[in-house]
Structure 1
């Protein structure tokens, strides 16, 4: 059980258990490699009828990626004044290439891929679960794309997922980095089935003993009402604005506690990455693979930017929760600033998804 991903086969079911519980199963290079190898094997193995993904420990499926190592890369690149070539060669960018390829392969997996989105599911954890064809949430699910709080932009196909959520609820989640529960995830269309956490072990055994559909018929329940979905009217109006500054103004005009909290949250995030996130969500691309390729461009520009190094420092390294963004004000971000994140990378440096 020392492997960071426990790979096994049980009764015709391939099991992937993310196995770094002390780190809430945060992804690293080895984990991505192990998952990719297993899925490529199982897609061709007629003995494997389904795959089940879960996380070890009680805290959650996956809290994302290795933020500390990303900070090392970002700080070194910023200090060196590095360009795109240096940024795409850094360990974080090399990892993103493999991670985004895995996200694409999960979305195209030809057999039932059951993601147990129990507990904390954030960032990279969303990437290995929310693109699945069978997404199971629980009463313990806490799902989020928290990137804007560290000077980053939703990746792992997050812009693709969020842009498809109606009533601008995806724009709200992408900009505010708010976490949602299992009932919210189903109401928003980023999960499919609700199984109480206490029933997960029995559910997995039933998948092995019968089929995914039969196991779901036995253990899936109607989820509770979604509190977030009930707020869709004011969110739809406020987050329809064409700029972050106007979204903040509209939230403040709504005047409810939830709207005022959203406005305050936005004021605390990186102005630049808020503007970049809004641009990506306002201009969705037709396919996941296209979104991943664009996200890779943006991620490379983020990792050599001041705000990502500073955001991780403030939230994770020094934990003073007081980042010094550049520029500091939402209104000071220019169109040219945003354009630079989306500009094509030099020849040979773009992400190309390879179909398995």
Structure 2
């Protein structure tokens, strides 16, 4: 299976492998709805092809795998339309995330360079997740008035201690070693070895190729921050978390507090609730169903449009959040984000067994 070079996702089969290449390098391979559909169609074809034993995901260009979803399109849809296009995109994207997590063949994601938002969704649910010294992984959604989605609240709830909550609220970037520590990646491979690893997957079993190329990762920077992260983020509310961070004494904790004060108050409170709910939902599918409710609700509130405007469209970096303060975000306001959608639910089926996510 091949695709023309101008396709947003290039498809190639070679030997025992099927290759998916996200191919919008000028947009840092940001995902569009047609790209999601094309990936899903390829996964269907390769799942039913006995000659394909491994699927490999990479990104075109030198900057990274994928910077996220096409949020400018979401901005325009929410501002000028009824949000139906964005809701349809998320529905297909979240179904793809769940499919990747359950894919019956090795799904090897080469998470080199920038991997954020939707890029995490198409990579970190895979069965083989490879990071390099160039990897920078993040879920920065609170900075645009949104929450970690694409199964991000599921993945971050699984991180040790309170690391996941810190990453979800601040949007902090992870190095390769940090991603390994937090469970968002499995293997470290130097970036200059990726071309050989990629080519060898066409000829040899995945485990044999990994054995040849995997190296020890450098120390995780986040490991040194666990004491203040775990001490501060166990507070019950966002306000209390910020108070603890501000008064802790560690400069990194104070910096985290200052970052949180720039984020959407609504997004912070919804994210805290979403992660703590994810802990009890158990399965990825159940969490994606919850994230879909939250995402659709975000289309009807002002912060998502305003956040994208400030960060991406006008780039003035001066969002005017509404409500403007944490104190103004009421329980009734929060409840809207988790309200059932009736016939419009995502409705991903639950797996046969569930396991409570450790906190």
- Structure 2 counterparts to residues 106-125 of structure 1, below 5 A: 106-125=100-119
Gaps of 5+ in 1: 78-85
Match status 1:4 vs 2:8: yes
Q: Which residue of 1 aligns with 2:283?
A: 287
Is 1:176 the counterpart of 2:170? The answer is yes
Superposition RMSD on alpha carbons, in Å? 1.1
Query: CA separation in 1, counterparts of 2:51 and 2:157?
Result: 37
- Is 1:189 the equivalent of 2:183? yes
| Structure 2: gaps of 5 or more residues | 351-359
Tell whether the 8 Å contact from 1:21 to 1:57 is kept in structure 2 after alignment: yes
Shift of 1:354: 6.4
Name the counterpart of 2:345: 350
Q: Which residue of 2 aligns with 1:156?
A: 150
Aligned partner of 2:310 in structure 1 is: 314
- State TM-score, norm by structure 1: 0.95
Asked if structure 2 preserves the Cα contact closer than 8 Å seen for 1:101 and 1:354, the reply is: no
**Among 42, 45, 49, the residue aligned to 2:49:** 45
Quote the Cα distance in structure 1 between the aligned partners of 2:162 and 2:349: 32
Tell me the equivalent position of 1:337.
Answer: 333
- For 1:36 and 1:352, how far apart are their aligned partners in 2? 18
Cα shift at 1:189: 1.2
Partner of residue 32 from structure 1, selected from 23, 30, 36: 36
For residue 133 of structure 1, the aligned residue among 127, 133, 148 is 127
2:22 to 6, 18, 24: 18
Contact preservation (8 Å) 2:149, 2:291 = yes
Distance, in Å, in 2 between the alignment partners of 1:76 and 1:336 is 26
Give the number of aligned pairs: 344
**8 A contact 1:167–1:233 mirrored in 2:** no
Shift of 1:144: 0.5
Determine the C-alpha separation between the residues in 2 that align with 1:76 and 1:238. 40
CA distance in 2, matches of 1:233, 1:43: 44
SS at the partner of 2:10?
Answer: strand
1:263 maps to what in 2?
257
Q: Aligned to 1:59, which of 57, 63, 69?
A: 63
SS of the aligned residue for 2:220 comes to coil
- Which whole-Å deviations, capped at 9, do the CAs of 1:134-155 have from their partners, x for residues lacking one? 0000000000001100000110
Give per-residue Cα distances to partners, 1:197-240, cap 9 Å, x unaligned.
11000111222221111111110001000011221111011011
TM-score, structure 2 normalization? 0.94
SS at match of 2:109: strand
1:331 CA displacement: 2.0
Q: SS of the counterpart of 2:55?
A: strand
2:193 maps to what in 1?
199
2:142–2:148 contact (8 Å) kept in structure 1: yes
